[in-house]
Structure 1
Amino acid sequence: MHATDGSTRVHDVLEHIRMVPDQYREFTVSAPDLLRLYRIGPPLLDQLLDGGLPHDGSGNDRRFDPLDAENIGLGLSIGPRWRIMRGWSESLVRHDHLGTRSGYRVNLTAACPAPGHHGPCDFALDPALTADLAPDELCRVEPGSYAWTLAPARDPFYFPAQFNELINAATKLRFHLLPQELTSDLEFLRTTGLADCKLATAYLVQRSRELGINSRPRGGLFVSVPFPVWHGWVELHTDSGWYPADPFLLGALTRWGITDAAQWPPKRSTHGLVLPVDSSRLRVTCRAVEPATSRLRIAGVSYLKPHRRPT
Structure 2
Amino acid sequence: MLLGGRRRRVEGPATEARLGELRPAPVTRDWPELPSDLRELLQEVEGVGFFLLPEAVRWDPEFMWRTRMSDCGGAAAWLVHEGGRRGLRSRFSFGLLVAAPYSTPHCWAEFLVDGVWVPVDPLLARALNQWGGLDPGAFPPDNTPGALFHRLTDRFTKVVSHDGIWAQVSLPTERAD
TM-score, normalised relative to structure 1: 0.44
Q: Which amino acid aligns with 1:240?
A: G
Q: RCO higher in 1 or 2 (8 Å CA, sep ≥ 6)? A: 2
Q: Tell me, yes or no, if structure 1 residue 231 matches structure 2 residue 125.
A: no
Return the structure number with greater helix share. Answer: 1
Tell me the number of residue pairs that the alignment of Structure 1 and Structure 2 aligns: 156
Q: Tell me, yes or no, if structure 1 residue 159 matches structure 2 residue 37.
A: no
Q: Which amino acid aligns with 2:139?
A: W
Q: CA RMSD in A?
A: 2.9
User: What corresponds to 2:174 in structure 1?
Assistant: 302
Where does 1:87-102 land on structure 2 (aligned, <5 Å)? Answer: none
**Which stretches in structure 2 are left out of the alignment for 5+ residues?**
6-10, 14-19, 161-168
User: What corresponds to 1:274 in structure 2?
Assistant: 149
Where does 1:1-311 land on structure 2 (aligned, <5 Å)? Answer: 107-110=1-4, 137=12, 148-278=23-153, 279=157, 300-305=172-177
**Which stretches in structure 1 are left out of the alignment for 5+ residues?**
1-106, 112-135, 139-144, 283-296, 306-311
Alpha carbons 1:157, 1:269 under 8 Å: kept: no
Change (3 A) 1:179 1:149: closer
Alpha carbons 2:105, 2:159 under 8 Å: kept: no
Change (3 A) 1:147 1:244: closer
CA distance in 1, matches of 2:49, 2:171: 32
CA distance in 1, matches of 2:33, 2:132: 21
Please list every run of at least 4 consecutive aligned residues from structure 1 whose deviation after the TM superposition is greater than 4 angstroms: 278-282
Deviation at 1:195, TM superposition (A): 0.8
Alpha carbons 1:150, 1:272 under 8 Å: kept: no
Change (3 A) 1:149 1:227: same
SS at match of 2:102: coil
CA distance in 2, matches of 1:174, 1:147: 31
SS at match of 1:277: strand
TM-score, normalised relative to structure 2: 0.73
Alpha carbons 1:159, 1:268 under 8 Å: kept: yes
**Higher Cα Rg, which structure:** 1
Change (3 A) 1:301 1:209: same
SS at match of 2:30: coil
